[in-house]
Amino acid sequence: MKRILPLLLLIGWAATAQNVIPGRLDSTFLIGTGFEDNMDALAIQPDGKILVAGQGDDYQGVPIKRIIRLNEDGTPDPTFSGPNLLIYENYNKIALQPDGKILALSHYTVNVNSTDIYNHFKRMNSDGSIDATFNAGGTGVVETIYSRIENMVVQPDGKIIIGGQFTQYNGVARKNIARLNADGTLDTTFVVGTGLNSSVDALCLQPDGKLIVSGDFSSYNGSFAPDLIRLNTDGSLDTTFTPSLAEGVGTVGIQSNGNIVITGGFSTISGVTRNRIAILNPNGVLINDGNVPPGPTSASNDAILDFVIQPDDKILIGGYFTQWGGVTKRCIVRLNANGFPDSTFNPISGANWMVWEIKAYPGDRYVIAGGFSTYDGVSQKYIARINGLASIETPTGSSAQTVCGTGTLASLSVTGTSIKWYDAPTDGNLLPSTTPLVNGTTYYASQTVSGNESTTRLTVTVTLTSSITPEFTQVGPICSGASGYSLPTTSTNGITGTWSPALNNTATTTYTFTPTAGQCATTAMMSITVNSNTAPTFTQVAAICSGATLSALPTTSNNGITGSWSPALNNTATTTYTFTPTAGQCATTATMSITVNSNTAPTFTQVAEICSGATLSALPTTSNNGITGSWSPALNNTATTTYTFTPTAGQCATTATMSITVNSNTAPTFTQVAAICSGATLSALPTTSNNGITGSWSPALNNTATMTYTFTPSAGQC
């Protein structure tokens, strides 16, 4: 009869010991003299206590009933006492139900307390006493001495699948496989039909609830199904599972990617060399990349008796062999996920005899049981605990963390790799990083390195504080292009931080204030309005003549903008004036250029002197250079007078003056001609007076009559 034990899948524990070497003894597990005979079966309780069963009748020199419960340190648990057994009876398999009750298989009909019969299968309470309610009144498996329940697997709902060599359960036909309710009664919803035509060696429950079965059979419910099959949750054959042919399949396990590890007495799988171990894909087909993983090579009767799959998918194997692939490996070896030896697993010499069963233990450790009496050369009778992985340290971080406002687990500060959060220091529920934080709650963080999770967890107690909203004095609207304003980096209620984006004085913009890290404050926003600038408009001042009166420029534009002009008005030169709007108005400056034309001096032909009383022609109203205007005062031909020419308005010209000389008239003086006698000779009168006036006399001289003669000065003399 093959000695095959089912696989226990690991659930990701991490080492607590420091400086451990994978494959070496766990020095904290002290068994003293150990057991006095082989131990075959193991079960690990959630609290770390270890159930051990087999052929041993004493532990550390104290009698036991072939089953015992050990504390974590290897000392016996005094709260557990197993039942009486038949002299030839020993347990070949034990398992735990979700409620902590203990299931036990035996190859013999069990006589408890010398009176009651429990055929092959019984259940104990957590203290080791028999649970009489299990399959109460049922007959279980009752047949010949050769009938047996070889293996069992417990579903998450507490139901139990059993396999072995039997034809009925509680009197109902069930050929070599059956599913029981949690109370031990037959579950009739698991329909196996005619069942398997030969014995079952191993059972492996997949995460989806389907069941892989291995053994010596060749058919299931009348269908061809050699050695390895998969059943649906209702017991029907899963026809999508088409495994490569392999004889003598024993133990079965599943890797995280769904690949299936099988062991047994085979040397080939569908004609491909595989020495007692092979890896199949999820549909059961051999994975064959051309590389042949080694296997046990010490003797033809080498055997793999049990294995577990670690969280990183490595395979820890126990059995009966002294070499693996030609390298000394005594009864224990670890393979990488691809089936090739793992060089990081380094026991000194391993077990001196066969390893029957391996179970994962918290802290990346493994409990092994079997027929060995030493491990690594140290006395270790029939049980040992070994280190599986190098130690993974607890992540680091503050145990008391304050979080501002609200947050999630992702808000907490923890240093480590692949941080995971839980609601308990051990076991507990895995919490997603999006879990909202609750004030005063304690959370627990582990880290995972290379697929291996730390067992000890960082304790973090959270305090939530109310966040402060930064307050700011609103910046008033500004004019486009304005300068001289900034946003404060400290709020009016004392929160420091920075603003973004950069200030923009050309467009209305909303700015976000981000508090400096370490302050419990929210972001804040401020929108600054940027008003467009209005161009002031004015009525253009007409050109003026230099020196003309220039009225003050208006201090309010046509479109209502107030302001002032510069420079001061200048009526003597063309000048550009700038209008600057009064502060607080969104307006641009404006300019106005006022043309100042230079004045032209009118020119005239000088009027010649005249004699007082002479005719004086009107002065010209247009100057020689085209300036029109008028003269004042009125012409005076009796006195020398200066006249002013005033240009007609609208002409840029100066006044002009002209002085017209009026000479006073001189009375010519003559020597009086003496009286003559009529007819006497009368000499011509002098044409030049005694005082130099030239002229002529009229009428003609008359020497016959007394005459008055008039002297008329020659023209041009006054």
Mean pLDDT of 367-391: 92
pLDDT digits (tens, 9 = 90+) for 436-468: 999 999 999 999 876 667 878 999 999 999 889
> Domains of the chain, with CATH numbers?
39-387 (2.130.10.10), 400-465 (no CATH), 478-482+489-531 (no CATH), 544-597 (no CATH), 610-663 (no CATH), 666-718 (no CATH)
Whether the Cβ atoms of residue 25 and residue 374 lie closer than 8 Å to each other = no
CA end-to-end distance (rounded Å), the chain: 178
pLDDT digits (tens, 9 = 90+) for 128-149: 999 999 999 898 887 566 778 8
Q: Cα separation of 378 and 60, whole Å?
A: 16
Query: Please, which residues bridge with residue 408 across strands?
Result: 436
- Number of helical H runs and strand E runs in the chain: 0, 57
Query: Please, which residues bridge with residue 42 across strands?
Result: 52
Q: Cα separation of 73 and 75, whole Å?
A: 6
User: CB neighbours (10 Å) of residue 667?
Assistant: 9
Q: Would you call 46 helix, strand, or coil by DSSP?
A: coil
Predicted confidence at residue 337, as pLDDT, reads: 94
Mean pLDDT of 306-331: 94
pLDDT surpasses 50 at 7: no
Which residue type occupies 4? Answer: I
Q: Give the containing element (helix H, strand E) for 610.
A: strand 610-611
Whether the Cβ atoms of residue 532 and residue 508 lie closer than 8 Å to each other = no
Whether the Cβ atoms of residue 150 and residue 4 lie closer than 8 Å to each other = yes
Q: Is the pTM of this model over 0.85?
A: no
Predicted confidence at residue 21, as pLDDT, reads: 83
Mean pLDDT of 530-547: 93
Predicted confidence at residue 330, as pLDDT, reads: 95
pLDDT-derived band at 17, boundaries 50, 70, 90: very low
Predicted confidence at residue 390, as pLDDT, reads: 59
pLDDT digits (tens, 9 = 90+) for 332-347: 999 999 999 998 899 9
Mean pLDDT of 672-698: 92
Q: What are phi and psi of 50, to 5 degrees?
A: -120, 120
Predicted confidence at residue 493, as pLDDT, reads: 95
Q: Cα separation of 338 and 294, whole Å?
A: 11
Predicted confidence at residue 144, as pLDDT, reads: 62
pLDDT surpasses 70 at 151: yes
Per DSSP, 325 falls in state: T
% of the chain residues with pLDDT over 70: 93
pLDDT digits (tens, 9 = 90+) for 172-202: 999 999 999 999 999 999 999 999 999 999 9
- What is the pLDDT of the chain when averaged over all its residues? 90
Predicted confidence at residue 119, as pLDDT, reads: 59
- Buried-state track 45-55, b at ≥16 Cβ within 10 A, e below 16: eeeebbbbbbb
Q: Sheet with 160-165: list strands edge to edge.
A: 148-154, 160-165, 177-180
Q: Would you call 411 helix, strand, or coil by DSSP?
A: helix
Predicted confidence at residue 450, as pLDDT, reads: 60
Q: Cα separation of 192 and 221, whole Å?
A: 7
pLDDT surpasses 50 at 6: no
pLDDT digits (tens, 9 = 90+) for 555-610: 999 999 999 999 999 999 999 999 999 988 999 999 999 999 998 999 999 998 99
User: CB neighbours (10 Å) of residue 640?
Assistant: 14
pLDDT surpasses 50 at 366: yes
pLDDT surpasses 80 at 251: yes
**Picking from 88-92, 114-118, 231-235, which range would have the lowest pLDDT averaged per residue?**
114-118
Predicted confidence at residue 518, as pLDDT, reads: 83
Cα Rg of the chain (Å, integer)? 64
Q: Where are the beta strands (DSSP E) in 343-412?
A: 355-361, 365-370, 374-375, 378-379, 383-387, 400-404
Predicted confidence at residue 688, as pLDDT, reads: 93
Predicted confidence at residue 718, as pLDDT, reads: 83
User: CB neighbours (10 Å) of residue 363?
Assistant: 25
**Residue with the larger pLDDT of the pair 436 and 666:** 436
Predicted confidence at residue 246, as pLDDT, reads: 74
Q: Cα separation of 607 and 696, whole Å?
A: 27
